[in-house]
């Protein structure tokens, strides 16, 4: 049976996306991980672009900062800052920068910037290197579970 409301909603989202109003991976209104940062720094001050461009974590610098999604994001260079500003959805870590494995288990926890992976062009962060090993053993299954959990998780689920 034809679902008119669903069709109209989908058509509206497609129109906004075509106009550039919604990034492909927008997580508007979702919590961003600033655990352990009194300054509201995402990824504990590490540069999200560096994971893609430099193939690993690099600490960002205060002079290359952007406020986005309720957090401050730091970058190692002006170039990285400009790349992020041009397309933040491309560089934002999955699940607001919370541990991807924790999200798959139904809760939000801190991360260690050195515990990371990129899967299908998306950055995933983990609690620590040990959890990263667990994550890497069944990444696709954990991503599927995390995708199901993420929409319902809120700040009250932070551990």
pLDDT tens per residue across all 159 residues of the chain: 444 443 333 333 333 333 332 222 335 678 999 998 888 999 999 999 999 999 999 999 999 999 999 999 999 999 999 999 999 999 999 999 999 999 999 999 999 999 999 999 999 999 999 999 999 999 999 999 999 999 999 988 898
Residue 101 located in a structural domain: yes
Q: Is residue 15 part of a domain?
A: no
**pLDDT of res. 72:** 97
Q: Contact, 74 vs 81, CB < 8 A?
A: no
CB atoms < 10 A from the CB of 39, how many?
11
User: Residue 74 sits in which domain range?
Assistant: 29-153
Instruction: Sort residue 31 into left (φ over 0), alpha (ψ -120 to 50) or beta.
Output: beta
What are 74's strand-pairing partners?
Answer: 65
| 53 belongs to a structural domain | yes
Q: Is the dihedral of CA 64, 56, 127, 90 positive or negative?
A: positive
In a domain, 134, yes or no: yes
Instruction: Give the pLDDT confidence score for residue 144 in this predicted structure.
Output: 98
Distance of CA 156 to the CA centre of its chain: 18
Is 49 part of any domain?
Answer: yes
For residue 132, tell me if it sits in a domain.
yes
CA–CA separation, 3 and 145 (whole Å): 27
- Total domain count, the chain: 1
Q: Rounded to whole angstroms, how far apart are CA atoms 78 and 84?
A: 10
Q: What share of the chain is helix, strand, coil (3-state, %, to 5)?
A: 45, 20, 35
CA gap 68, 66 in Å, rounded: 6
Asked, for residue 45, whether it belongs to a domain, the answer is yes
Taking CA 94 as the corner, what is the angle to CA 93 and CA 96, rounded to the nearest 5 degrees? 80
What pLDDT score does 27 carry?
59
- Would 24 be classed as within a structural domain? no
pLDDT given for residue 37 in this prediction: 87
């Amino acid at each position: 049976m034809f679902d008119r409301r669903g069709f109209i909603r989908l058509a509206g989202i497609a129109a906004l996306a075509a106009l550039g109003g919604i990034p492909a991976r927008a997580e508007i209104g979702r919590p961003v991980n600033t655990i352990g940062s009194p300054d509201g720094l995402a990824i504990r001050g590490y540069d999200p672009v560096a994971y893609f461009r430099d193939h690993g974590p690099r600490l960002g610098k205060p002079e290359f900062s952007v406020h986005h999604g309720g957090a401050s994001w730091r970058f190692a260079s002006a170039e990285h800052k400009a790349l992020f500003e041009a397309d933040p959805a491309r560089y934002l870590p999955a699940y607001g920068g919370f541990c991807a494995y924790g999200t798959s288990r139904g809760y939000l926890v801190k991360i260690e910037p050195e515990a990371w992976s990129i899967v299908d062009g998306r950055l995933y962060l983990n609690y620590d290197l040990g959890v990263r090993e667990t994550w890497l053993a069944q990444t696709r299954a954990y991503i599927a579970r995390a995708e199901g959990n993420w929409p319902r998780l809120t700040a009250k689920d932070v551990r």
